[in-house]
Amino acid sequence: MTMNNSSSSKLGGQCLIVGAIISFIIFIIQILISGPPPGNEHIFSYFANETVAKGSATVIYTLLWMFGNVLIAFGILVLNGHLQEQQKDTMLSLGTFLFIVGQIGFMLATTMDVSIIYAQDPIEIANIASGQMSIFFMFGPVAFLGAALVSLNLASREYINALYSRITAVVFLIVILAFAYTAFNMADPGNHYIPSTIMPAFAGISIAQFFAVIWNLMVGMKMMKN
C-alpha cells in the first residue's frame, strides 16, 4: 500500500513540526544547563565534564535530539520530492542533499555525548569532546548551506513568507562564516583556554535555532495543508 502525494506531504509536514519542537526544546534545555565555558578553563574539558555531570540524562537528551533531527531530515526530504513534482530545480536538490548530509554529521557528533558518559576518564573524555567539536564544525557549514539553499528556493516559489525565507537564509549563511572563523581559531591550541574563541559559533547556532524552529513550523503547516 502506497501513500498518495497529499498523504505524503501531510506526514512530512507533521514530522517537520514534531521534529522541530523536540530539537528546539532539547537545545534550550542544554543551553540553560550548560552555557559557554568560564574563563581560563580548557574548552573541551569543560564541555566533557558538563556532559558527565548530567549523567543518564545525557542519554535521554541525545535520543530525543536524534529523533527530532531524523524527523526534520525526513520532512525536508518529503518537501523536496513534493516541490520537484511541481517544478524541477537542481539547486533545491543540492540544498536538500547538503542539509541531510549535514544532519547526519550533527547526529554523529551528538552520539559522542554518550561515548563521554561511558568513558569517564578525564583525559579520554576531553579527547572525545575535541573530536566531537571537530565533526560539528566541519558538518555545520554543510548543513547550513543546504538549509540556506532550500530556504531561498522556497522564497522564490513564495511557498511560505518570502521575506522571512530570505532573512533565514542570510542568517544561515552568516552562521557558516561564524563556524569557519571559530574552527580556524580553535586550530591554535593557545585558544583552547579562551572562552571567547568558541563564542562566534556558539552565538551563531543559538540565533539560527530560533529562526529555524519558526521556519520549520511554517513549512510544516504549509505541507499539511497541501
Span 25-35, pLDDT tens digits: 998 888 777 76
Question: pLDDT at position 190, please?
Answer: 84
> pLDDT above 70 covers what percent of the chain?
96
- Using CA atoms, how far apart are residues 219 and 195, in angstroms rounded to an integer? 36
- Per-residue pLDDT reduced to its tens digit, 116-161: 988 878 788 888 988 999 999 999 999 999 999 999 999 999 999 9
- Using CA atoms, how far apart are residues 43 and 195, in angstroms rounded to an integer? 7
Question: pLDDT at position 1, please?
Answer: 35
Question: pLDDT at position 79, please?
Answer: 96
pTM: 0.90
| Angle formed by the axes of helices 122-157 and 57-86, nearest 10° | 20
Question: pLDDT at position 2, please?
Answer: 44
Q: What is the mean pLDDT of the chain?
A: 90
Task: Decide if 219 contacts 16 (C-beta within 8 A).
Answer: yes
- Using CA atoms, how far apart are residues 112 and 129, in angstroms rounded to an integer? 8
Is the pLDDT at 3 greater than 60? The verdict is: no
* CA dihedral sign of residues 192, 181, 167, 62: negative
Phi, psi for 120 (deg, rounded to 5): 70, -35
Average pLDDT over residues 168-185: 95
Model confidence band, residue 39 (pLDDT cutoffs 50, 70, 90): confident
Is the pLDDT at 187 greater than 80? The verdict is: yes
- Residue 216 half-sphere exposure, CB side, CA atoms within 13 Å? 28
The cell for 226 is: 497541501
The cell for 97 is: 542533499
Model confidence band, residue 5 (pLDDT cutoffs 50, 70, 90): low
| Nearby residues of 101 by Cβ (< 8 Å), 6 or more positions away | 139, 142, 143, 146
Using CA atoms, how far residue 58 sits from 66, 96, 112, in Å, is 12, 29, 10
Is the pLDDT at 115 greater than 60? The verdict is: yes
- Using CA atoms, how far apart are residues 111 and 169, in angstroms rounded to an integer? 27
